[in-house]
Structures are given as structure tokens and as C-alpha cells.
Structure 1
């Protein structure tokens, strides 16, 4: 759920003359044009109720990079010119956490200074990526991956380089992707060992809110390491595996 500190930040971001149109547009979009309120307070309530994920909300097309950049600049927050919308979203959420959470969510001896120590690996987008990576490879290694785990439009380009040559395979349906991944794993007795630290798995988001997971690790066959694992999962979590090494070693 969107936290109280994030709701306070959304109020600052959208409840003003410059962005009121954006707020009302988001409310219509969130309710699929069922509720066409002109009341800003009601509009804010609607979007936080029907879009309970702050990343999804801020990734909506109505909230532009320019809007986020202007908001950060007006508050003297860090907003370098070399950025993507995903970068700005992360900076805005971090700014809200630093500015608002201490007065709303913290208690006891905790102080706002501790918020500034939050490292990049604690960003929600990276936590989601680590959880997805753990879930995907646990199922894959256990031969439990099924069609329902893949998007219907999943695609795969699989290249296997071995001592006897190179084999390439293109898959354009979820069924083909699942069959290719399962067959390669069983043929070479592969075990995928992802690096689940922040250095080995991270999340990215494009300007349309599509989610990309980038993962690294090692590839094993029986008791031997046969290559490295470089795994950029396609948008929205569709698996796309790239490995290097000789599977017949």
C-alpha cells in the first residue's frame, strides 16, 4: 500500500494549480472513467485507492519526466540532467522518505538522519527484482516452471556454444520458450546459481512503467562451473537467458 509519507508527497506533487489537470486525469484513468470527479481531494483518494503501488502510479504516462524533474528542482533535491524517468521516480520516492517519514512513521529514538543512510539496494524496484530472481530460478532449478509463469507473448533467443559447434533457437510463444528452457536444462544437467545480492540482481523501469530485471550468476553442470550467467529478463518479467561457457566440459 502507498504509505502516509508517500501520500503526503503526492499531495505536494499534484495538489497545485500547475498539476491539477494531471491529478484529475489520473483519477479518471484509475477508475476507467467511471468516476469523473472535479474535487482534487477526492481525486487523490481515488488514485491512491485504485493504484496502490507508488511505482506504478508515478510511472503513469500523465506524470511526465518534466513534471518530476521540476518538482525535485523546486525543492533543491538532487536531480541531475543525465536521467531516465525511472531514475526520477526513485529520487522522488527517496526524497519523500527522507522529508516525511520521520514525522509520520518513525517513533522512539529513530531520527531522520537514519533515512539518509538507506542504500540503493533498498529501493523497492531492486527488492522486487531480487524476489523475482529468487522465485524464478528456484522454480526453474526444481523443474517446476510452467506456462502460467510466463507471459503469453514470451520470446526467447537461445544460443548454445559447445565444442562441436553452435546451436541457435528462436522461440516466439510461451510454450516454445518453456520447452526450449526445459530441454536445454535437462540435456546438459544445468543448475542456475543466480547472485541474489544487489551487485548481482537489479531492477530497471522504462518511461512506460515496463519492468526489466538484470541478473548475474554462475552456471553449473553436476559439480562443475561451466560458465557465467548474464540474465536480463525481458520487460514485465519474461525470461531471456544468456549464458557463456562450454556446457560439455
Structure 2
């Protein structure tokens, strides 16, 4: 009697896309796809790699235990999606928790999957929902990219404009501190010092309710972003940020931050999910115009 092999469900496929299609983990996805296909064909595109991977792997558990998916990769993913919810650090426990997280999102109908790249496009045949406007896609991708690099201590001077400027306010139990600085070197030092001083992990709300784009009076792209602050074992506050972005013609015309305005505030009972509408310091910026057009 033959048994029917399990296949990877659509929900787990969505989860794998969330886990593996990003700047950090896409090389892992490509390695996995080449491995399961025995390198018989050239695979360069992430979505193509995901198609091969799910077509040639029968079971999600078998896939998650492959050596390319490391304990460190799973831990960082969980820490981003469910900070402070894990108690064990074995790979077996992390695999179980990641799959359970995907299954819970299916039941709740709230799985959020980020775009793998910033693409300046719009819906050609029908009006986009506002959250799909190019300016909001850029904002969400920037928020994901920035806080991933910031949390992992990989933010570099070349990621900022050389004349970047920062306004930083920290409201803690023992008082308020404010600082301003200009130049990429000073901005980077201030950001790193604030993170290390308090031991914060920044968990941005990467949905439309937590990250949006606007156009300022000079026609520049402004990213509004908020989220929760965490230490090793608990949520301790919220953050609210405004980033001013400009394209850098000397860096493949990529968007780079030039202006930073950040508020870090400790709270006894932080919200589970901080939103822009609840962000006191972002209300004025939220009134700036948006656009449904592509961005040149």
C-alpha cells in the first residue's frame, strides 16, 4: 500500500517567501534551490528558486532542517516577527516555532509578506489600493532594510548620505535627553550609542498601519515608521521615526537616508503593535501629501 507524500502548503510557501526572500537570506534560498535540483539548471531569480524548492521538496519539516537554514537564521527571523516569545535555542525548537507561527498567521488571516525589492510600478489595469502605491512600497522596503541592518549592527557610513543629519529624543523613566548632529559619521555614532546604551531591539510595524511614505514640500520622499522597543526578554517602549530619502546617483540610484528624526520612549505597558495614527510625534508628517504615481 502506497502512502501519499505530503506537499508544502501554500501558507508554508508564503512563510518561506517571508523567511528567505530578502537582502540577507536570498543567497540561502538560491543555495537551497540549487541543492535540491542537483545543480542541473541555472537558478538566479528568487521567485524561480522558491518554485524549484517547493516543487522538489515534499515536506516543510524536511526542508527546514537542511543545513543551509541555520539556527542563527531562524532565531533572527523569530526575533523580528515574535520578539521575546522563545525560550529554547535548539534548531529543533526554532523550526517548530517558525512553522507554528506560520500556521497561526493562517488561522488569523494576518500573514504579512514583504516585497523582495523596491519596484517603482503601479497597477496598470485597475486602481491600486493605497497601501500598494509605489511610495508606500518604497517606505516599507526601506523600513525593513534599515531596521534589519540597524538591529544586526551592519549599518555603514556608505548607507547614509555624507551630510546626513539626525534629531534624536529619548524619553526614559529618569528624564528626557535630546541631541542633534550632522555628518554621516556623527549620525551613525549617535544611532549605535543609543542602541547600545539601552540594549534596544527595534521591532518596526512593517504593515501599512506602521510604515508609510509621503512627499515633503521639496518633492522629496519621506518615510514615516513606528514600532516597539524590546530588550532581551520584554517589550519596554515605542519608537517613532521620520526619514528623508534621496536617490544616490553614485550608488546605482538607490534611495539613501539623509535626514533622521527619531523619538524613543519607554513605557510600562507598551502596545502590542504601535501604529502611525497612535504616534503623537508623527501627526504633522501624516498630513503631508502622498502620490499614486511612480517615482523618478
Q: TM-score, normalised by structure 1?
A: 0.51
* Contact 1:158 1:241 survives alignment (8 Å): yes
Q: Residue 150 in 1 paired to residue 151 in 2?
A: no
Q: CA deviation at 1:151?
A: 1.1
Deviates more, 1:156-165 or 1:130-139: 156-165
Match of 2:146 among 133, 136, 139: 136
* Contact 2:220 2:244 survives alignment (8 Å): no
Q: CA deviation at 1:196?
A: 0.6
d(CA) in 2 for partners of 1:163 and 1:235? 32
Match of 1:243 among 253, 256, 264: 264
Q: CA deviation at 1:159?
A: 2.1
Q: Secondary structure at the match of 1:240?
A: strand
Match of 2:242 among 208, 232, 243: 232
Match of residue 231 from structure 2 = 221
Q: Secondary structure at the match of 1:204?
A: strand
> Which structure has the larger Rg?
1
Counting helix residues as a fraction of each chain, which structure ranks higher? 1
Q: CA deviation at 1:154?
A: 1.1
Q: Secondary structure at the match of 2:189?
A: helix
Match of residue 198 from structure 1 = 208
Q: Secondary structure at the match of 1:128?
A: helix
* Contact 2:172 2:265 survives alignment (8 Å): no
Q: CA deviation at 1:229?
A: 1.6
Q: Residue 120 in 1 paired to residue 141 in 2?
A: no
d(CA) in 1 for partners of 2:175 and 2:219? 40
For structure 1, which runs of at least 5 residues remain unmatched after alignment? 1-92, 103-114
Match of residue 164 from structure 1 = 174
- The size of the alignment, in residue pairs, is 138
* Contact 1:202 1:215 survives alignment (8 Å): yes
* Contact 2:167 2:261 survives alignment (8 Å): yes
* Contact 1:161 1:246 survives alignment (8 Å): no
d(CA) in 2 for partners of 1:235 and 1:127? 14
Q: Secondary structure at the match of 2:155?
A: coil
Q: Residue 186 in 1 paired to residue 196 in 2?
A: yes
Q: 1:40-84, CA deviations, whole angstroms, 9 ceiling, x for partnerless residues?
A: xxxxxxxxxxxxxxxxxxxxxxxxxxxxxxxxxxxxxxxxxxxxx
d(CA) in 2 for partners of 1:153 and 1:226? 32
What are the equivalent positions in structure 2 for 1:10-159 lying under 5 Å apart? 101-102=124-125, 115-116=126-127, 118-159=128-169
Q: Secondary structure at the match of 2:261?
A: coil
d(CA) in 1 for partners of 2:142 and 2:220? 15
Q: Secondary structure at the match of 2:197?
A: helix
Deviates more, 1:157-166 or 1:139-148: 157-166
The alpha-carbon distance between structure 1 residues 144 and 216, as it changes in their structure 2 partners (threshold 3 A), is: same
Q: CA deviation at 1:207?
A: 4.9
Q: Secondary structure at the match of 1:148?
A: helix
d(CA) in 1 for partners of 2:217 and 2:168? 28
d(CA) in 2 for partners of 1:162 and 1:206? 30
